[in-house]
Amino acid sequence: MRPYLAAAIQMTSKPDLDKNLIEAEELIDLAVRQGAELVGLPENFAFLGKEEDKLAQAADIATKTRKFLKTMAQRFQITILGGGFPVPVEAAPTKAYNTALLVDPNGAEIASYQKVHLFDVDVPDGNTYRESSTVMAGKDLPSIYSSPKLGNVGLSICYDVRFPELYRHLADKGADVMFVPAAFTAFTGKDHWQVLLQARAIENTCYVIAPAQTGNHYERRYTHGHAMIIDPWGVILADAGDRPGVAVAEINPERLYQVRQQMPSLQHRVFV
């Protein structure tokens, strides 16, 4: 592993697949122009609309999104994360997996993860979310992608960030970098987004890359924004604010080593 630049992309995705992919390409280009070699797109980057509409278009979204990610990776010679898009479940026509996919510069799919924790919540702002109505929960913990250039990269998606055992699993597998692509609600995000991301970084002494959705997507669906990159000490290295854009920061192995030497908490665990 060597020092390199990573980017967390921030979007305001709509219920329009083709338009979203055009916007994503523009932001990927912006990140690459700033030197990013590892780029993350947020959850629902290809389509953010009503659950029933997403399910109806899931096959088309999945096909076009996979092709898009491979094309972007090859064109820009980057490793790219598609942070969450629907992939139809053959055995259950009324469900899709919320899938994160990591693609290397050759266009090869090198890691994937199906979201395990589904967001079924009555938010105090009056919005109700029932992700499980159209999404099939994954059954497997995410694996680690090991790269001599990028380090050990672990995947997760949005609501997972509230479940620290998933990230401890990634840490046990040797993670240096943890992705948390999200479409975090505006109401919960203002209080919980940043502190949860910092906690996951600090307790696991890892970098956290958190691409995000921001603004109004349709009707009353608002997301928090603030795509971030956080270092293993919990320092916010980059924050995209509340508008579409990119957060770019360095992933540095010397910083990882320094923090892990200064605070070797993972070595001091009693209950494992």
Kindly name the residue from 37, 54, 70, 115 that is annotated as catalytic.
115
Kindly name the residue from 23, 37, 158, 206 that is annotated as catalytic.
158
Kindly name the residue from 43, 54, 70, 206 that is annotated as catalytic.
43
Report d(CA 217, CA 86) in Å as an integer.
17
* DSSP, residue by residue, 128-197: EEEGGGTBPPP-SPPPEEEETTTEEEE---GGGGG-HHHHHHHHHTT-SEEE--B--BHHHHHHHHHHHH
Report d(CA 41, CA 182) in Å as an integer.
9
Tokens of 37: 């070699």
Length of the chain: 272
Whichever domain contains 162, its CATH number is 3.60.110.10
Is residue 206 annotated as part of the catalytic site, yes or no? no
Tokens of 89: 């479940």
Task: Give yes or no for a contact between 131 and 97, defined as CB atoms under 8 angstroms apart.
Answer: no
Task: Give yes or no for a contact between 229 and 238, defined as CB atoms under 8 angstroms apart.
Answer: yes
Domain that holds residue 177: 4-268
Q: Residue 221: how many CB atoms within 10 A of its CB?
A: 18
* Tens place of pLDDT per residue across the chain (272 aa): 999 999 999 999 999 999 999 999 999 999 999 999 999 999 999 999 998 899 999 999 999 999 999 999 999 999 999 999 999 998 888 999 999 999 999 999 999 999 999 999 998 887 889 999 999 999 999 989 999 999 999 999 999 999 999 999 999 999 999 999 999 999 999 999 999 999 999 999 999 999 999 999 998 899 999 999 999 999 999 999 999 999 999 999 999 999 999 999 999 999 88
- Domains identified in the chain, total number: 1
